[in-house]
Amino acid sequence: MCQSLFFLFLCFVACCCMQLAGAKRHAFNPGEKRVNPEGLKDLVVDLPGQPQVGFQHYAGYVTVDEKHGRELFYWFFKAASGAKGEKPLVLWLNGGPGCSSVGYGATQEIGPFIVNSRGNGLELNPYAWNKEANVLFLESPVGVGFSYSNMTSDYDLLGDDFTANDTYSFLHNWFKKFPEYRNHSFYIAGESYAGKYVPELAELIYEMNKDPSLYIDLKGFLLGNPETSDAEDWQGMVDYAWSHAVVSDETYSIIKETCDFNSSKTWSNEECNKSVQEVLQQYKEIDIYSLYTSLCINNSSNSGVYTTGPVYKKEFTMMPRMMGGNYDPCVDDYAHAFYNRPEVQKALHASDGVNLKGWSICNTSVFHGWKDSKPSVLPIYRKLVGAGLKIWVYSGDTDGRVPVLSTRYSIDSLGLPKIGSWRPWYHQMQVGGWLQEYEGLTFVTFRGAGHAVPMFKPSNSLALFTSFITGQSLPLQRSNS
């Protein structure tokens, strides 16, 4: 009898300890403002393989159209514990169009977790951007990642304007779940085709802010290797390919003679089309997003052909844009394995863990069905520079997809007055890249980084983000500090 009572006592103590440990793991920080009950339902507590952290994160759906049943999936990470003061809110968008901000941004680039090489768990990212901000990742538009619509006709409407309007609706509805962040300073960041998404969304917020009831405290945006202006982007791509020995002198000479990327008629020129196709064909032999790293060779493939983007079409006038480059060239496979696990989908509130969502890192049907793409967002840049928003653009200099030359050509066409000279910036005693400041815009390069810069230079990227958020200058001389 005494032994039985003692055993029960030990069980009671063990149970209490487990409850206390769980409470400690998921406890709110002292003095922290709580989200409303709807937001609390999205708290992530049992994510498989997650390392222990001192901050909360939430995932789930926000309705952007109740009639159509249009739902956008998000993953939100509060600023890491120990952060002092009210941290800004940053929305991160990946591009494609059709690629997942959860699969890329959240768990390959700037989020606090990185999917491991077995695709069955997560590792801590010591250079996560939530060290400096509250970071919100969104899978947009519907058809991307876990985001969906119950109205199939919605998928026939996807384009720049549709995406901007849905993302804007998402923000206001997300603030209903997390009202304590409505008055935080707000920034937008992203890369690749988000070079279109982000300025378009920023312009929409800027215009809608004229109604005080809809006000979002937008401070600026940060873009990496962004598609900006089709003419400059195409010219930069072929110039970069030639200058980096990807194509021959003959091919480049024909392009110079026959292609006028400022004219919509250039794609009706057969010689121009053939030569541009040759550029893309040569890039298929390597990783267009990272010229000097290896491809992921799938041993189970029977074709032996490894592509880096959609097949070039004569009638296709937007730039091909798929699949971010990776330092580990097989990391997309790890993400695919992880996000299609039943227990992961259930923990992230993406499904009930039985009726699973088919998750892919990029949805090619979204890309191929894209309805409208602004040929240039430079007019939006001019408007928002004039409005006083903070705008920083960065570029990994080993990316062939949206190369540093494309971005330089686009920025140069703005004609902004320069502040100071073109000069190197430093990180950990080494040249991180170069920068040029303009009135209303800062341009920064990353030495040795591909398309998805944080994957190649995570520490440098965090340093850039910290400077952007805090208003501190990047180091312009070597220092031990």
The identity of residue 419, as a single letter, is: I
For residue 456, what is the enclosing H or E element?
Answer: helix 453-456
Neighbours of 296 (CB within 10 A): 13
Query: For residues 359 and 99, what is the distance between their CA atoms, to the nearest angstrom?
Result: 11
Q: Is 68 one of the annotated active-site residues of the chain?
A: no
Which of 101, 147, 192, 406 does the annotation list as catalytic? 192
For residue 235, what is the enclosing H or E element?
Answer: helix 230-243
| Mean pLDDT in residue range 113-141 | 94
Query: For residues 378 and 223, what is the distance between their CA atoms, to the nearest angstrom?
Result: 13
Q: To the nearest whole percent, how much of the chain has pLDDT over 70?
A: 85
Range name among 33-47, 144-158, 440-454 with the lowest pLDDT average:
33-47
Which spans in 150-229 are helix H? Answer: 160-177, 194-208
Query: For residues 413 and 313, what is the distance between their CA atoms, to the nearest angstrom?
Result: 28
Helix, strand or coil, per DSSP, at residue 390: strand
Which of 160, 451, 461, 467 does the annotation list as catalytic? 451
Range name among 229-243, 263-277, 286-300 with the lowest pLDDT average:
286-300
Q: Would you say 229 and 374 are in contact if contact means Cβ atoms under 8 Å apart?
A: no
pLDDT at 314 over 60: no
Q: What is each CA distance from 304 to 237, 278, 312, 336, 422, in whole angstroms? A: 26, 19, 19, 21, 44
Ranges of beta strands (E only) in 81-224 are: 89-93, 113-115, 122-124, 134-139, 148-149, 186-191, 218-224
Q: For residue 324, what pLDDT is reported?
A: 35
pLDDT at 143 over 90: yes
Q: Which CATH architecture has domain 395-470?
A: 3-Layer(aba) Sandwich (3.40)
Q: For residue 83, what pLDDT is reported?
A: 55
Q: For residue 303, what pLDDT is reported?
A: 30
pLDDT at 7 over 80: no
Confidence band, pLDDT 50/70/90 cuts, at residue 30: very low
| Mean pLDDT in residue range 196-219 | 97
Q: For residue 34, what pLDDT is reported?
A: 58
Neighbours of 266 (CB within 10 A): 18
pLDDT at 22 over 50: no
For all residues of the chain together, what is the average pLDDT? 87
Q: Would you say 184 and 217 are in contact if contact means Cβ atoms under 8 Å apart?
A: yes
Q: For residue 296, what pLDDT is reported?
A: 83
pLDDT at 18 over 50: no
Question: Cα 399 to the chain's mean position, in Å?
Answer: 16
pLDDT at 287 over 80: yes
pLDDT at 309 over 50: no
The listed range with the strongest mean pLDDT (5-19, 25-39, 137-151) is 137-151
Q: Would you say 389 and 218 are in contact if contact means Cβ atoms under 8 Å apart?
A: yes
Confidence band, pLDDT 50/70/90 cuts, at residue 33: low
Confidence band, pLDDT 50/70/90 cuts, at residue 412: very high
Which of these, 377, 259, 382, lies nearest to 317 by C-alpha position? Answer: 259
Q: Is 301 one of the annotated active-site residues of the chain?
A: no
The identity of residue 453, as a single letter, is: V
Torsion of CA 320, 323, 329, 333, to 10 degrees: -140
Confidence band, pLDDT 50/70/90 cuts, at residue 261: very high
Query: For residues 209 and 386, what is the distance between their CA atoms, to the nearest angstrom?
Result: 16
Q: For residue 308, what pLDDT is reported?
A: 33
Question: How deeply is 173 buried, as exposed, middle or buried, from its count of CB atoms within 10 A (0-12, 13-18, 19+)?
Answer: middle
| Mean pLDDT in residue range 344-359 | 95
Q: For residue 331, what pLDDT is reported?
A: 85
Confidence band, pLDDT 50/70/90 cuts, at residue 327: low
Query: For residues 62 and 67, what is the distance between their CA atoms, to the nearest angstrom?
Result: 14
Q: Would you say 346 and 353 are in contact if contact means Cβ atoms under 8 Å apart?
A: yes
Query: For residues 91 and 153, what is the distance between their CA atoms, to the nearest angstrom?
Result: 27
Residue showing tokens 């394995």: 337
Q: Would you say 234 and 263 are in contact if contact means Cβ atoms under 8 Å apart?
A: no
pLDDT at 212 over 90: yes
**Phi and psi at residue 438, to the nearest 5°:** -120, 170
pLDDT at 339 over 50: yes
Q: Is 349 one of the annotated active-site residues of the chain?
A: no
Which of 399, 406, 461, 467 does the annotation list as catalytic? 399
Confidence band, pLDDT 50/70/90 cuts, at residue 297: confident
Confidence band, pLDDT 50/70/90 cuts, at residue 38: confident
Strand pairing class (70-77; 148-149) = antiparallel
Segment 240-248 long-range contacts (CB within 8 Å, at least 24 positions apart): 240/400, 240/403, 240/404, 240/405, 240/406, 241/279, 241/282, 241/283, 241/400, 243/405, 244/291, 244/400, 246/279, 246/282, 246/283, 246/286, 246/291, 246/400, 247/278, 247/279, 247/282
Q: For residue 348, what pLDDT is reported?
A: 98
Confidence band, pLDDT 50/70/90 cuts, at residue 298: low
How confident is the model over 378-402, as pLDDT tens digits? 999 999 999 999 999 999 999 999 9
Sign of the CA dihedral 449, 452, 457, 460? positive
Query: For residues 434 and 474, what is the distance between their CA atoms, to the nearest angstrom?
Result: 10
Tokens of 31: 């003095």
Domains of the chain: which residue ranges? 395-470
